[in-house]
């Protein structure tokens, strides 16, 4: 527990992240590059979806990370709320725009896939609707930080939104099981093993790992920016008090 508290120190996190960042950048570029090459030029078209299947190499990782980032926000918000550690709110605040970007990418690529597959850009399907709600939760979280001038009040209000909004995550995950939806069910993480052919699964895994690496890189950069801004605010407050 003491080691975790030391890691939660913004200064120690900043120094550790400087060592991680070059490697996550390298992995993001390498894995995404390899995944795109395999997915676009090596993997065969699907026997039912044809060339449209190639959209999943962006859609699936983006959709997965859209939920993963919100889960990170909820966990770090809870840590910040319970233990009053500023790094938790830094991480959650830094992650929100990234998660919103992944969510909109998932929605757009899903629409591009849905038009030739379902015959429509959008349908009020349980999975699609719950992902759209996730996007609005991201916007609401980001908006709270802009509304409050007091950063402590903003952090508490934003943490509440993140924790309450986490209820939507299991709905997104199990919506295809709970309701009759057009969206296909789980095809990778299954008790009986993946139902996707290895020719498609392998580049998809590379893309997913590449997206994870990209998330780590961007999140580190944004957290570092938040830590720096917090130091600047502290200096400004100190100067104003001296006057």
Per-residue pLDDT, 136? 97
Stronger pLDDT, 118 or 130, i.e. the higher one: 130
* Residue 207 reports pLDDT greater than 80: yes
Cβ 110 vs Cβ 59: under 8 Å: yes
Query: If you average pLDDT over every residue of the chain, what do you get?
Result: 85
Do 58 and 102 contact (CB within 8 A), yes or no? no
pLDDT recorded at residue 4: 42
> What confidence category does residue 176 fall into, taking pLDDT thresholds of 50, 70 and 90?
confident
Extended beta strands in 92-223, E state: none
Which CA distances in Å does 178 have to 127, 169, 183?
A: 10, 14, 12
Angle separating helix axes 56-83 and 86-118, nearest 10 degrees: 150
The answer to whether the Cα torsion of 32, 34, 35, 41 is positive or negative is: positive
Distance, C-alpha 38 to centroid of its chain = 24
Confirm if 178 and 186 have CB atoms less than 8 A apart.
Answer: no
Q: Which two tokens stand for residue 158?
A: 């934003």
pTM for this model (two decimals): 0.86
pLDDT of residue 168: 95
């Amino acid at each position: 527990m003491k080691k975790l508290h030391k890691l939660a120190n913004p200064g120690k996190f900043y120094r550790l992240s400087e060592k991680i960042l070059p490697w996550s950048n390298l992995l993001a570029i390498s894995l995404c590059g390899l995944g795109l090459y395999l997915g676009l030029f090596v993997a065969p078209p699907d026997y039912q979806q044809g060339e449209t299947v190639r959209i999943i190499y962006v859609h699936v990782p983006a959709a997965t990370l859209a939920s993963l980032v919100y889960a990170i926000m909820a966990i770090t918000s809870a840590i910040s709320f319970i233990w009053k550690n500023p790094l938790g709110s830094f991480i959650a605040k830094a992650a929100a725009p990234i998660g919103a970007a992944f969510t909109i990418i998932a929605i757009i690529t899903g629409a591009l896939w849905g038009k030739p597959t379902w015959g429509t850009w959008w349908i009020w399907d349980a999975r699609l609707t719950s992902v759209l709600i996730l996007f609005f939760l991201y916007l609401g979280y980001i908006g709270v930080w802009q509304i409050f001038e007091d950063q402590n009040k903003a952090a508490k209000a934003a943490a509440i939104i993140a924790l309450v909004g986490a209820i939507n995550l299991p709905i997104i995950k199990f919506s295809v099981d709970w309701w009759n939806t057009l969206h296909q069910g789980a095809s990778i993480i299954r008790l009986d093993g993946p139902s996707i052919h290895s020719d498609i699964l392998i580049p998809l895994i590379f893309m997913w790992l590449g997206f994870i690496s990209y998330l780590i890189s961007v999140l580190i950069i944004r957290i570092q920016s938040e830590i720096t801004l917090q130091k600047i605010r502290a200096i400004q407050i100190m100067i104003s008090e001296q006057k």
